Amino acid sequence: MTGVAAIIVAAGRGERLGGSGGPKQYRMLGASTVLARSLCPFVEHESIDAVLVVIHPQDRERYEAAVPRHPKLLAPVAGGQIRQQSVLNGLEALSAFNPEKVLIHDAARPFVTHGLISGVLAAVRPGTGAIPGTPVADTLKRRGPEDNVAETVSRDRLFAVQTPQGFVFSDILLAHRDVAMRGIADLTDDSAVAERAGMQVKIVAGDGGNMKITTTPDLESARSRLGANLPDVRTGNGYDVHRLTGGDHVMLCGIRIPAERSLEGHSDADVGLHALTDALLGTIGDGDIGSHFPPTDPQWRGASSDRFLAHACNLVRRAGGTITHLDVTLVCEAPRIGPHREAMRSRIAQIAGIDEGRVAVKATTNETIGFVGRREGIAAFATSTAVFGSIGEKRE
Ligand code: MG
């Protein structure tokens, strides 16, 4: 292979992060994992031909669950005890492909950009690696005995360096083999390996946004940056229709209304409450009214539909949801809904245990067209809104 490969180093245990959520590269950041975010810009970069992730031997399942398939993505390889060994394992695995250049990136940096990758890649030459760095802005002190300052260190020409770090593939493979053979095991980045092997390494412009996630506050700040701490507001919709047949009343939104015909079907055939029940189940992805209350089960024949709505409300609350709004639209030629609207709102609010101000009941005719227009049936559409904490906290 000519071209460019990328190694994403994801074999660490992330012990500094603490908590019970597992290694940091598999924690959620918005809707995907830290690892998936870190490798995506490489997979999507037009100059990169193959991406290889080095994982902890015990993380195979986590990896499969965390990373979407992509043709550029090679099978992951197992890392070693220390970062240096993990990178060497990745390089050895890539030697079968023999790329011209390689970029080595830490999975804990999920905000790497296309531009940063291009900048590093453009500076790589035979015998010369390239690393992104930003000038150190803080004043630096060296600590002496008893927490006293021993000296102020000049920050002149000091840079904080990041990944990805880029090299000619054969250069860095030989450098890693060389330091490993000499038993050197304390090098914290690949530039240090290259330096030990006598290579030149050029610093290119780093990106202040290319943060590394090491601690829990780092993860929190990464999440706020993504808006992952936004409230987890979910909207569900529901639809129902029942046939009109002989009778003297209809049940709509929990209210019995005298009418020339009745609705037939499941339970008391209250299309309004059925649509609302489905809308609520929609916020938690928990099936529909038919899966909770099968129409074939005789115990629901003629049953009052408030039970279904109350059950769906309980399920949403059990899942951690707060029901904030219920909205239903009835579609019928008759009866007229206007005179019953307030009673319906009040009944729905009572069943759902929410304020009446959070319930809307609307109605329209179907302009005498279609099955509703021909008075063959009554339909209802419903929308429910529930809030489930915040998107970020929900996932751990
Ligand atoms: Mg129904």
Specify the pLDDT at position 220. 87
pLDDT digits (tens, 9 = 90+) for 38-63: 999 999 999 999 999 999 999 999 99
For residue 237, the cross-strand partners are 383
pLDDT digits (tens, 9 = 90+) for 144-172: 999 999 999 999 999 999 999 999 999 99
Ligand 1 centroid–CA 387 distance in Å is 26
Ligand 1 centroid–CA 315 distance in Å is 19
Specify the pLDDT at position 308. 97
Ligand 1 centroid–CA 241 distance in Å is 6
* Strand ranges for the chain from DSSP E: 4-10, 28-29, 32-33, 48-55, 77-78, 101-106, 128-135, 140-143, 149-153, 159-161, 165-168, 200-205, 231-246, 249-252, 255-258, 261-264, 322-331, 359-364, 377-390
Specify the pLDDT at position 98. 94
Residue of 309, 302, 385 whose CA lies nearest to 347: 309
As a whole number, mean pLDDT of residues 262-271 equals: 93
- Asked if the model's pLDDT at residue 290 lies above 70, the reply is yes
* Model confidence band, residue 227 (pLDDT cutoffs 50, 70, 90): confident
| Residue found under tokens 């590093």 | 120
As a whole number, mean pLDDT of residues 201-221 equals: 93
Ligand 1 centroid–CA 277 distance in Å is 10
pLDDT digits (tens, 9 = 90+) for 186-202: 899 999 999 999 999 99
For residue 142, the cross-strand partners are 151
Ligand 1 centroid–CA 283 distance in Å is 18
Ligand 1 centroid–CA 263 distance in Å is 10
Specify the pLDDT at position 299. 87
Ligand 1 centroid–CA 242 distance in Å is 6
- Assign 190 to helix, strand or coil: helix
- Asked if the model's pLDDT at residue 390 lies above 90, the reply is no
- Percentage with pLDDT > 70 across the chain: 95
Ligand 1 centroid–CA 382 distance in Å is 12
- Percentage with pLDDT > 90 across the chain: 84
- Asked if the model's pLDDT at residue 18 lies above 90, the reply is no
- Asked if the model's pLDDT at residue 211 lies above 90, the reply is yes
* Model confidence band, residue 274 (pLDDT cutoffs 50, 70, 90): very high
- Asked if the model's pLDDT at residue 13 lies above 90, the reply is no
Ligand 1 centroid–CA 383 distance in Å is 15
Ligand 1 centroid–CA 295 distance in Å is 9
User: Please, what is the average pLDDT of the chain?
Assistant: 93
Ligand 1 centroid–CA 274 distance in Å is 5
Specify the pLDDT at position 230. 73
Q: Which amino acid is residue 300, in one-letter code?
A: W
- Phi/psi at 92 (nearest 5 deg)? -60, -40
Ligand 1 centroid–CA 278 distance in Å is 9
Ligand 1 centroid–CA 330 distance in Å is 13
Specify the pLDDT at position 396. 43
Residue of 203, 190, 243 whose CA lies nearest to 82: 190
Ligand 1 centroid–CA 264 distance in Å is 9
Helix count and strand count (H, E) for the chain: 13, 19
Ligand 1 centroid–CA 305 distance in Å is 9
Ligand 1 centroid–CA 324 distance in Å is 23
Ligand 1 centroid–CA 390 distance in Å is 33
Ligand 1 centroid–CA 320 distance in Å is 26
Rounded to 10°, the helix 169-181/83-94 angle is 130
pLDDT digits (tens, 9 = 90+) for 323-342: 999 999 999 999 999 999 99
Specify the pLDDT at position 395. 45
Ligand 1 centroid–CA 29 distance in Å is 39
